[in-house]
């Protein structure tokens, strides 16, 4: 133990390097497993060193908390279905924010310690970011799990309330900084917690992938704030890595949606009254429908097929059956690829994880920028459970809330087959003109059942 304490800074440095390698590994499917292992080893080293160098730690309480947390985490990791992964991630972010708030409050109430000017700033920033992260993440969890309405909170009063809460938070935080008033710190914390709700409630369902990414960034900065409060260098480094990488990912996601990050953060959500109106017109339009057998016949006689997966694929757990069907098509000489939109699903990388779970070869999975130019040369596009990410209104309708958002240009293929349960609008609340094109055939039903029926048709 003395040896560990003697080389604590060096071990922290090794842990920080491992965290950097973790992010590098997680940047691609091939390195994800190794990246996770680097992170586990790095966190293990960081926890071990912290326990050794901590002054008078209460090992009984620490071990109890670690065992309880590990038990809950292991249970959740083994039981959570892929459809609930986004809300689970959001809920985990809320715990980081709550931890930041509790640690800041504990530090402020530590009567034996005088806080310097820099420390008071650190406590203020760490606590208000943590408070916002906590409530915002809980609201995001509620929206993603359908416990709360996905529709945005609207009204001319929303922006003034946001501004008032932010000013109140900064005002009481400033008063604490000057006077070290515990009351002001508590009031500032309360303002930040309420502000977290009003930052996420006005955001619509179509923007939730960006919100999850943004909350990931918030949780990282909250962790960095905890690191400053505890004077723990490795926690500062880890939090900064998560915060900066989450911010970069949020920017990339917004760019993929042709959105402003500031607009998303302050509730400029997709889908509004215009979306609702567009969705209401869906039943008035004519569309063509067919059976799983019809779809299987067209795809088995095609030279090239592109599959566009969406959240409906995750809901029905159809990824394994879909890959088995793709293999059957490949055996018949059909070129099969998967097209992934950056915001497909409910969180960044959602579709990539689903396909990796089904052991889809990496070379068959292509991002939007790689495959868009090839849709016009594709015989059949199979859209399964996706909606907004293939909506041509983003390119043509200047009145559409998603106008300007880059999409997978499935409408350029020679034939489009769409598997959906019904003609209902997507998560952003918009009707999709792709469904009404002459080249489009709708196949209604549960995605897994439809794919299994197509597989049987191809096998015969």
Return the active site residues.
388
Candidates 160, 157, 145, 161; CA nearest to 91 is 145
How far apart are alpha carbons 159 and 265 in whole angstroms? 12
Sequence-distant (6+) residues with CB within 8 A of 364 are 326, 336, 337, 338
Token pair for 116: 């310097």
How far apart are alpha carbons 55 and 320 in whole angstroms? 52
Token pair for 108: 């402020």
User: What proportions of the chain, in percent to the nearest 5, are helix, strand and coil?
Assistant: 65, 5, 25
**Please, is 358 exposed, middle or buried when counting C-beta atoms within 10 Å of its C-beta (0-12, 13-18, 19+)?**
middle
Token pair for 407: 């999409």
421 CA to centre of own chain:
24
329 CA to centre of own chain:
32
How far apart are alpha carbons 22 and 225 in whole angstroms? 21
How far apart are alpha carbons 405 and 255 in whole angstroms? 8
User: Which 8-state DSSP code applies to residue 399?
Assistant: T
Can you list the positions of beta strands (E) in 174-311? Answer: 304-309
Residue with tokens 């691609």: 28
Tally Cβ neighbours within 10 Å of residue 191.
23
Q: Do 414 and 381 meet the contact criterion of CB atoms below 8 Å apart?
A: no
How far apart are alpha carbons 62 and 69 in whole angstroms? 10
Q: Do 216 and 241 meet the contact criterion of CB atoms below 8 Å apart?
A: no
Could you tell me the CA-to-CA distances from 102 to 52, 140, 175, 181, 361 in Å, in that order?
23, 21, 20, 17, 45
């Amino acid at each position: 133990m003395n040896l560990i304490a003697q080389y604590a800074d060096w071990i922290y440095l090794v842990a920080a390097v491992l965290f950097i390698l973790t992010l590098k590994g997680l940047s691609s499917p091939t390195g994800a497993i190794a990246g996770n292992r680097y992170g586990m080893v790095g966190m293990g080293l960081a926890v071990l060193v912290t326990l050794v160098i901590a002054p008078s730690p209460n090992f009984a309480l620490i071990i109890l908390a670690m065992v309880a947390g590990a038990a809950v985490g292991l249970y959740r990791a083994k039981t959570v279905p892929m459809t609930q992964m986004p809300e689970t991630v959001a809920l985990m972010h809320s715990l980081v924010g709550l931890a930041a708030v509790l640690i800041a409050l504990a530090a402020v109430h530590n009567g034996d310690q005088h806080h310097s000017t820099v420390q008071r700033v650190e406590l203020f920033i760490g606590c208000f970011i943590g408070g916002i992260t906590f409530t915002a993440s809980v609201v995001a969890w509620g929206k993603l799990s359908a416990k709360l309405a996905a529709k945005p909170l609207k009204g001319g009063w929303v922006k003034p309330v946001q501004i008032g809460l932010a000013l109140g938070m900064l005002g009481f935080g400033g008063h604490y900084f000057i006077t070290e008033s515990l009351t002001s710190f508590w009031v500032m914390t309360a303002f930040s917690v309420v502000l977290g709700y009003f930052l996420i409630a006005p955001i619509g369902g179509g923007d939730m992938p960006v919100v999850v990414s943004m909350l990931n960034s918030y949780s990282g900065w909250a962790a960095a704030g905890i690191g400053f409060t505890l004077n723990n260098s490795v926690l500062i480094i880890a939090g900064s890595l998560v915060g900066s990488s989450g911010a970069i990912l949020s920017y990339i996601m917004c760019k993929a949606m042709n959105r402003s990050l500031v607009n998303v953060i302050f509730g400029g959500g997709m889908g509004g009254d215009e979306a609702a109106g567009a969705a209401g017109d869906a039943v008035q339009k004519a569309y063509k429908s067919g059976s799983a057998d019809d779809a299987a016949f067209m795809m088995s006689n095609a030279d090239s097929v592109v599959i566009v997966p969406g959240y409906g694929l995750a809901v029905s757990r159809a990824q394994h059956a879909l890959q088995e069907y793709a293999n059957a098509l490949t055996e018949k000489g059909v070129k099969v690829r998967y097209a992934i939109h950056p915001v497909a699903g409910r969180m960044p990388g959602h579709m990539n994880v689903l396909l990796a779970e089904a052991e889809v070869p990496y070379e068959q999975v292509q991002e939007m920028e790689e495959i868009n130019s090839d849709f016009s040369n594709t015989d059949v596009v199979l859209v399964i459970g996706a909606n907004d990410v293939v909506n041509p209104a983003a390119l043509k309708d200047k009145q559409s809330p998603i106008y300007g958002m880059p999409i997978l240009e499935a409408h350029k293929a020679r034939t489009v087959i769409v598997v959906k349960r019904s003609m209902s609008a997507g998560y952003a609340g918009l009707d999709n003109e792709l469904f009404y094109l002459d080249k489009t055939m709708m196949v209604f039903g549960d995605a897994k059942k439809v794919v299994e029926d197509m597989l049987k048709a191809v096998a015969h």
